[in-house]
C-alpha cells in the first residue's frame, strides 16, 4: 500500500513538474478548460434561473401547475398559444363539477380553476359611431321633451362634432382619391360625404333628425377608418376562483368582475397597448424608453418613428374634438407654442414633433392640459363591450359585457405573453363558444315553438332563417360550419344555435350587468382547468394520479404540466438549453481537439523521457497514469478557477440583477430583473464536464505515449 502511495507520489511529481516545465501548453489547455467551465456554470445557472422564474410566470399567470383538458381533443392545449391556437381543437368537458370532484380526489391538488380560452374580434367603438350615438340620444331626448330649437348647447355641440368629423373624413377621402385609382372608391361614397358635409344637409337636420341620423349612420360611419379591430384573446373562468388561485393577479383599473355577474376585464397590457389612444400610447412608450433605457429620440430609430407617427397621425385626436374642444385646443396650443397658426391639426403636428429637449415638458403638458378633453381609451372602464366570436360551428355569437376593469400579474406588468389574455366570466364564455345555458335553451324552445320552424335542416337553414326572420337586427349567421365532432355537445342542432345567435343579438343589450346563478360556475361545460398543487415538486406523479382518477371516474381527462400547457413559450428554456449545450459541446469539441493536439505534441517532445522510464522498468500503466494525471490536474485546477469565476459572476448578477431588455424578457425573467442563483449542481456539472473533457482529450496522447518503445531511450541524441 505504502509502495502504491510512493509510486503515485512519483507519478504526481513527474506529472506536476512537467506541467510547470511546459507552461505554454498548460496555460493554453487550462485556459480553454477554464473558459469552458466558466461558460457551463454561467450558462446553466442563468438557464436554471430563467426556467425557475419563467415557471413562476407561467404557473402564476394562467397555467397553474397542471392543466387538465379532454383527452379527446385533436390538438394539444396551449394556454399561451396566441392566435394560432385553435380553441375548437379542444374538446369540451361537459361537466366541471365531475372534473373537479375527480381531480380534487388527488391528494396533492390544492385547487381547480375552470377555464376556457378563445379568441374574438372586437370592433372598438369608433369615434363616428360614438358621436352619432351621442347625437341620437340627444335627438331622442329632444323628441320626448318639448322641443327647444334654440339654446341647446349640448345638442349644437354634438352636431358640430359630427360635422367636424365629416370634414376630416372628406379630406381623407380626397386624399385617398388622389393616391388610389378613383375606380376603387365608389362614387356613391364620395357623393355621400359631399352631401353630409354640405350646409344644406345640416340646415335641414333639425327638420328630420332621425332620417338624417340614419343616413349618417348607414352611409358615413362605415367610411370612418379609425374603427380598429381588436383581436382579443380571453379566458373564460370563475373570476373569484381565478383571483384566489393566481394571487399574482392584481386589479389595475376599476374593480374585479363581481361574483355572479357577467363581465369583462381587460388585461392591462392589452388595454394600454391596443385600447389606448395611439398618440398617448406612443408618448408613453417614448417616455419609458427615455427613462428606463436612456434612449434618445435623436438617436433611437424606434423613438424617431414614434415621434413621427404621433406628429403625422393627429386625425385620431381631431376626430374627438367638437367645436368647443377645437377652440380650447387652438387657444391652448397657440399659447403654448407661441404660434399664430389657426389650424388645430397643424398646431397638434407641431406640438407633437417633440425632441429630446422639450419631450418631458410637452409630455407633462399633454397629460395635464390636453388629455382631460380626450377619450384616452377607446373603451372606457364601466362601458359595455360587444364581443363577437365564432362558435364552434361557425355562427357568430355576440355578448355585451360590462368592462369592469383591467388586471395584470405582479412582476409581469409589461410582458406581452402574460398580458395577452383578457378575462370574462365562464357563463358568457360558454355562450360565445356556442354552449347554451338553460335559459337560452328555453328561449330557443319558445322561439321555435312560436316560429314553427323546427323541421329545418342545415342544408336550407340559410334561406329558412332569413326567410323566417327578415326583420332581425343583424343576424350575422354563417351556416357553413358545423363539424361531425359537434355530435356529443349539449346543444340541439346548428339551427338551434343559429336561433340562439339571433336571440343573443336581440337581448344583447341586456347582457351587461345581468347576473347568473353561481351554480353555473361550479358545473357545466369547460374547455380546460388549471390545477394548483400543494407540492409543485411532484408534478409528474400528480399528473399520473389525475389521469388515473379521470379513468376511474370515466372522464376523458388529460393532464399536462404547465411547461407543456404553455406550448412554445414553455419550451423556451428547453430550446435555450439545447442551444447552450450545443454551444458548450462545440466549445468542448474544439477544446478537445486543441488539448489533444497540445498533448500529442508534448508527448512527442517527451519520447526519450518516456522511453527511458519504460527502459528503466516503468510499466505502460505508469505512463498512462502519468499523462491522465496531468490532464486531470490541469482540468480540475483550471476548471475550478473557471467555475469559481463563473460562480462569482452569477453571484454578482444575483445581487445587481440582469435587466430585462424588453417586454419578452420580462416574462422570462418574471419581472423587470433576473436575479440568478448559483446552485451546487451548476458547479458539479461544470467540473464533471471538464473532467470528462480532460480525460477524453488525453486518451489519444496517452495511447501514443504507451506505445513508445523503451528502445527510444537507446537512440542517441544526434
Partner 1 sequence: MQAIVSIQNATKDYHLGKVVVPALRGVSLDVMQGDFLSIAGPSGSGKTTLLNLIGCVDTPSAGTVEVAGRNTALLSERELTSLRLHTIGFIFQSFNLVGVLDVYRNVELPLLLQGTLSGAERKQRVSALLDRVGLQEHARHRPNELSGGQRQRVAIARALVTRPRLVLADEPTANLDSVTGQNILDLMKELNRTEKTTFIFSTHDARVMAHATSLVRLADGKLAERANAPSAAELAEVAEHAPDARAGAAS
CB of 683 to partner 1, least distance (A): 32
CA-to-CA separations, 193 to 27, 177, 219, 331, 385, in angstroms, rounded: 81, 13, 8, 29, 29
Question: Would you say 503 or 618 has its CB closer to partner 1?
Answer: 618
- Within 204-343, residue ranges assigned H as helices are 209-215, 239-245, 268-270, 278-288, 301-312, 315-318, 323-337
Question: Would you say 74 or 715 has its CB closer to partner 1?
Answer: 715
Question: Would you say 662 or 709 has its CB closer to partner 1?
Answer: 709
Q: Does 17 bind partner 1 (CB under 8 A)?
A: yes
Question: Would you say 10 or 186 has its CB closer to partner 1?
Answer: 10
As a whole number of angstroms, the distance between CA 71 and CA 97 comes to 17
As a whole number of angstroms, the distance between CA 67 and CA 302 comes to 39
Q: Does 291 bind partner 1 (CB under 8 A)?
A: no
Window of 16-24, 149-157, 527-535, 665-673 that interacts with partner 1 by CB under 8 A: 16-24
Of residues 691 through 710, those in contact with partner 1 by CB under 8 A are: 709-710
CB of 584 to partner 1, least distance (A): 34
Q: Does 23 bind partner 1 (CB under 8 A)?
A: no
Contacts of 102 (CB under 8 A, 6+ apart): 546, 549, 550, 552, 553, 555, 557
As a whole number of angstroms, the distance between CA 204 and CA 201 comes to 5
- Give 295's DSSP letter: -
Residue pair 620/18 in contact by the 8 Å Cβ criterion: no
Window of 247-255, 267-275, 612-620, 690-698 that interacts with partner 1 by CB under 8 A: 612-620
Go through 569-605 and write b for each residue having 16 or more CB atoms within 10 A of its CB, e for each that does not.
bbebbeebbeebeeebeebbeebbeebbbbbbebbee
Of residues 619 through 648, those in contact with partner 1 by CB under 8 A are: 619-620, 622
Binds partner 1 by CB under 8 A, chosen from 471, 617, 656, 680: 617
CB of 658 to partner 1, least distance (A): 46
Q: Does 516 bind partner 1 (CB under 8 A)?
A: no
Binds partner 1 by CB under 8 A, chosen from 349, 375, 609, 663: 609
Residue pair 717/611 in contact by the 8 Å Cβ criterion: no
Q: Does 481 bind partner 1 (CB under 8 A)?
A: no
DSSP E strand boundaries for 87-132: 109-123
Question: Would you say 91 or 630 has its CB closer to partner 1?
Answer: 630
Q: Does 24 bind partner 1 (CB under 8 A)?
A: no
Question: Would you say 1 or 471 has its CB closer to partner 1?
Answer: 1
As a whole number of angstroms, the distance between CA 259 and CA 238 comes to 8
DSSP E strand boundaries for 452-599: 528-533, 557-561
CB of 45 to partner 1, least distance (A): 39
Question: Would you say 147 or 617 has its CB closer to partner 1?
Answer: 617
β-strands 264-267, 249-254 pairing: unpaired
Burial tier of 439 (Cβ tally within 10 Å: 0-12, 13-18, 19+)? middle
Residue pair 544/560 in contact by the 8 Å Cβ criterion: no
Q: Does 607 bind partner 1 (CB under 8 A)?
A: no
Question: Would you say 3 or 207 has its CB closer to partner 1?
Answer: 3
> Which among 60, 83, 59 is positioned nearest to 408, based on CA atoms?
60
Binds partner 1 by CB under 8 A, chosen from 197, 615, 632, 677: 615
Question: Would you say 587 or 633 has its CB closer to partner 1?
Answer: 633
Q: Does 13 bind partner 1 (CB under 8 A)?
A: yes
Binds partner 1 by CB under 8 A, chosen from 618, 689, 690, 702: 618
Q: Does 21 bind partner 1 (CB under 8 A)?
A: yes
Question: Would you say 484 or 617 has its CB closer to partner 1?
Answer: 617
Q: Does 14 bind partner 1 (CB under 8 A)?
A: yes
Question: Would you say 18 or 45 has its CB closer to partner 1?
Answer: 18
Contacts of 689 (CB under 8 A, 6+ apart): 36, 37, 40, 584, 588
Window of 14-22, 438-446, 595-603, 630-638 that interacts with partner 1 by CB under 8 A: 14-22
> Which among 629, 701, 574 is positioned nearest to 19, based on CA atoms?
629
Go through 269-293 and write b for each residue having 16 or more CB atoms within 10 A of its CB, e for each that does not.
bbbbbbbbbbbbbbbbbbeebbeee
Residue pair 576/51 in contact by the 8 Å Cβ criterion: no
Q: Does 4 bind partner 1 (CB under 8 A)?
A: yes
Number of Cβ within a 10 Å radius of residue 712: 15
CB of 636 to partner 1, least distance (A): 20
Interface pattern 337-366 for partner 1 (x via CB under 8 A): ------------------------------
Question: Would you say 3 or 471 has its CB closer to partner 1?
Answer: 3
As a whole number of angstroms, the distance between CA 612 and CA 617 comes to 8
What residues make contact with partner 1 under the rule CB under 8 A? Answer: 2-4, 6-7, 9-10, 13-14, 17-18, 21, 608-609, 611-620, 622, 709-711, 713-718
Amino acid at each position: 500500500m505504502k509502495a502504491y502511495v510512493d509510486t503515485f507520489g512519483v507519478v504526481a511529481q513527474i506529472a506536476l513538474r512537467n506541467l510547470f516545465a511546459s507552461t505554454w501548453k498548460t496555460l493554453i489547455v487550462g485556459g480553454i478548460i477554464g473558459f469552458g467551465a466558466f461558460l457551463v456554470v454561467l450558462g446553466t445557472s442563468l438557464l436554471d434561473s430563467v426556467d425557475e422564474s419563467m415557471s413562476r410566470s407561467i404557473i402564476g399567470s394562467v397555467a397553474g401547475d397542471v392543466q387538465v383538458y379532454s383527452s379527446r381533443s385533436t390538438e394539444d392545449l396551449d394556454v399561451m398559444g396566441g392566435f394560432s391556437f385553435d380553441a375548437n381543437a379542444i374538446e369540451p368537458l361537459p361537466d366541471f363539477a365531475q372534473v373537479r370532484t375527480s381531480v380534487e380526489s388527488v391528494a396533492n391538488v390544492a385547487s381547480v380553476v375552470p377555464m376556457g380560452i378563445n379568441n374574438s374580434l372586437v370592433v372598438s367603438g369608433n369615434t363616428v359611431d360614438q358621436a352619432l350615438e351621442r347625437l341620437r340620444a340627444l335627438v331622442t331626448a329632444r323628441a320626448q321633451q318639448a322641443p327647444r330649437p334654440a339654446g341647446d348647447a349640448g345638442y349644437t355641440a354634438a352636431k358640430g362634432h359630427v360635422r367636424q368629423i365629416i370634414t376630416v373624413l372628406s379630406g381623407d377621402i380626397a386624399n385617398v382619391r388622389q393616391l388610389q385609382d378613383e375606380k376603387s372608391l365608389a362614387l356613391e361614397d364620395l357623393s355621400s360625404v359631399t352631401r353630409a358635409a354640405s350646409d344644406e344637409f345640416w340646415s335641414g337636420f333639425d327638420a328630420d333628425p332621425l332620417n338624417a341620423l340614419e343616413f349618417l349612420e348607414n352611409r358615413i360611419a362605415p367610411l370612418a377608418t379609425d374603427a380598429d379591430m381588436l383581436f382579443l384573446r380571453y379566458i373564460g373562468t370563475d373570476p373569484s376562483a381565478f383571483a384566489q388561485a393566481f394571487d399574482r393577479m392584481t386589479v389595475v383599473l376599476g374593480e374585479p368582475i363581481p361574483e355572479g355577474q357577467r363581465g369583462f376585464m381587460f388585461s392591462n397590457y392589452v388595454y394600454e397597448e391596443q385600447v389606448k389612444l395611439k398618440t398617448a400610447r406612443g408618448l408613453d412608450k417614448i417616455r419609458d424608453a427615455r427613462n428606463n433605457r436612456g434612449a434618445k429620440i435623436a438617436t433611437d430609430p424606434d423613438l424617431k418613428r414614434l415621434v413621427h407617427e404621433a406628429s403625422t397621425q393627429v386625425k385620431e385626436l381631431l376626430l374627438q374634438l367638437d367645436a368647443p374642444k377645437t377652440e380650447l385646443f387652438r387657444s391652448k396650443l397657440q399659447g403654448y407654442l407661441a404660434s399664430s397658426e389657426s389650424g388645430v391639426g397643424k398646431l397638434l403636428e407641431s406640438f407633437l414633433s417633440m425632441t429630446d429637449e422639450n419631450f418631458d415638458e410637452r409630455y407633462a403638458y399633454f397629460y395635464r392640459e390636453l388629455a382631460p378633453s380626450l377619450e384616452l381609451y377607446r373603451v372606457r372602464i364601466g362601458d359595455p363591450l360587444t364581443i363577437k366570436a365564432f362558435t364552434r360551428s361557425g355562427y357568430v355569437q355576440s355578448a355585451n359585457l360590462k368592462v369592469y376593469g383591467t388586471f395584470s400579474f405582479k412582476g409581469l406588468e409589461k410582458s406581452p405573453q402574460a398580458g395577452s389574455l383578457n378575462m370574462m366570466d365562464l357563463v358568457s364564455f360558454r355562450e360565445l363558444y356556442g354552449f347554451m345555458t338553460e335559459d337560452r335553451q328555453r328561449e330557443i324552445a319558445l322561439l321555435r315553438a312560436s316560429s314553427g320552424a323546427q323541421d329545418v335542416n342545415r342544408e336550407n337553414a340559410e334561406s329558412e332563417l332569413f326567410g323566417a326572420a327578415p326583420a332581425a337586427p343583424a343576424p350575422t349567421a354563417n351556416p357553413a360550419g358545423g363539424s361531425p365532432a359537434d355530435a356529443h355537445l349539449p346543444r340541439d342542432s346548428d339551427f338551434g344555435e343559429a336561433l340562439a345567435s339571433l336571440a343573443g343579438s336581440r337581448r344583447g343589450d341586456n347582457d351587461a350587468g345581468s347576473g347568473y346563478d353561481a351554480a353555473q360556475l361550479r358545473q357545466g361545460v369547460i374547455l380546460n382547468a388549471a390545477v394548483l398543487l400543494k407540492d409543485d415538486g411532484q408534478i409528474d406523479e400528480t399528473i399520473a394520479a389525475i389521469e388515473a382518477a379521470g379513468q376511474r371516474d370515466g372522464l376523458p381527462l388529460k393532464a399536462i404540466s404547465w411547461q407543456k400547457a404553455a406550448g412554445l413559450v414553455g419550451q423556451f428554456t428547453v430550446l435555450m438549453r439545447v442551444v447552450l449545450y450545443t454551444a458548450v459541446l462545440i466549445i468542448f469539441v474544439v477544446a478537445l481537439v486543441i488539448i489533444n493536439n497540445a498533448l500529442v505534441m508534448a508527448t512527442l517532445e517527451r519520447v526519450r523521457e518516456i522511453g527511458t522510464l519504460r527502459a528503466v522498468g516503468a510499466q505502460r500503466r505508469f505512463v498512462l497514469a502519468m499523462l491522465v494525471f496531468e490532464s486531470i490536474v490541469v482540468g480540475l485546477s483550471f476548471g475550478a478557477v473557471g467555475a469559481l469565476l463563473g460562480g462569482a459572476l452569477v453571484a454578482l448578477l444575483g445581487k445587481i440583477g440582469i435587466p430585462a431588455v424588453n417586454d419578452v424578457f420580462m416574462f422570462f425573467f418574471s419581472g423587470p430583473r433576473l436575479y440568478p442563483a448559483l446552485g451546487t449542481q451548476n458547479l458539479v456539472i461544470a467540473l464533471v464536464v471538464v473532467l470528462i473533457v480532460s480525460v477524453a482529450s488525453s486518451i489519444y496522447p496517452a495511447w501514443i505515449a504507451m506505445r513508445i518503445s523503451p528502445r527510444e531511450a537507446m537512440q542517441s541524441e544526434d
